[in-house]
Amino acid sequence: MLMDEKEIEKIIRENPHLAEYLESIKDKMEMPKFYSQVPRDLKGEKYPNLIYPTKETIFIHIYRLPGMEEIEYHAIEPTLSEEEKKKRDMIMERLYEEAIKKKEMSTKEEIRELIRKMMDRIVVVSEKGASTEEGKKKGLFGGLAKSKIVLTPLEREKIEYDITKNIVGGGPLEPFMRDPYIEDVHVITGQNVYLVHKVFEMVKTNIFIDEKWAPTFSQEFSEKIGSPVSDGQPIADGTLPDGSRVNIIHSKDVSLKGPTMTIRKFSETPISVTQLIKWGTMSAGIAAYLWLCLQYGRSVFVCGETASGKTTT
């Protein structure tokens, strides 16, 4: 569903990182179309150029320009400047100090809420903010008194997002985890991450996992599924809280290119039979036949190649 001009102006105004991104691409391509939901009839479009929102502040730009070999998927999310990274590191240090005193959290929502509450105690929001050097001189970034850290409203929002996505989210994969149109995530060390998109199928992303950081990332992610990997136990299978299946190969002894990962996501809302008929996945007659097979306890084989829709259907 296409957004109208007022809706577009509103989300650009409320999301400075989106405005910055649009400014950065204005000389490279036409203004993307904005969709609140991605219509399936865009499947097969040779040169798509659209932006759609996911959860919270993340937006996705899907495009292909003449001369490009494949469709690209660009995650637009808040990013930190070097100054903001310094402030984040200071906040993280304080968060770790306080977290030790807290009871163990069992769900992502509880951890998110805890991070938010602890930041309320650690941070004070000011329209002017303060640089790390100014803050140190004025005693705003710690010291014996453990003064509050001064952030602008935008810095607070960006830093909280960064901390949350790395502690309880998917780290650099967080945009994909929030995107309801993603079915599979394929991570190979030293390459851009590839996705299987429900509308555009296989797409290349702007997220890159380098060789130096890949082992650390695979270990951290494996801990989130409760199945830590190591050189002694280099393969792990598990599930994320949302039910997504994860397979991690950690060691070069098993994977020549280094750590690799696949994530099979599941739809938050199950697909109905009427939707499958509408999309042309099956006819009404086949749907009725399968219904009878299940009703009378018959066995059914569902066959197909990777990402053909076996699990989804």
- Helices 153-167, 82-99: axis angle to 10 degrees equals 60
CA gyration radius for the chain? Answer: 22
- The pLDDT tens digits for 273-305 are 898 888 788 899 999 999 999 899 999 888 888
- The pLDDT tens digits for 220-232 are 899 888 889 988 8
Q: Would the pLDDT of 142 be above 50?
A: no
Sheet arrangement for strand 72-76: 33-34, 49-53, 59-63, 72-76, 201-208, 192-197, 182-188, 260-264, 245-249, 235-239
Rounded CA separation 188/178 (Å): 20
Rounded CA separation 268/99 (Å): 31
User: Residue 140 phi/psi, 5° resolution?
Assistant: -90, -10
| Residue 103 structure tokens | 């009871």
Average pLDDT value over all residues in the chain: 87
- The pLDDT tens digits for 101-139 are 766 666 778 888 888 888 998 999 987 766 555 555 555
Residue 150: CB atoms within 10 A of its CB come to: 21
- The pLDDT tens digits for 12-68 are 999 999 999 999 999 999 999 999 999 989 998 999 999 999 988 899 999 999 999
Q: Would the pLDDT of 141 be above 70?
A: no
Confidence grade of residue 145 (pLDDT, cut at 50, 70, 90) = very low
Q: Would the pLDDT of 78 be above 80?
A: yes
pTM reported for the whole predicted model: 0.82
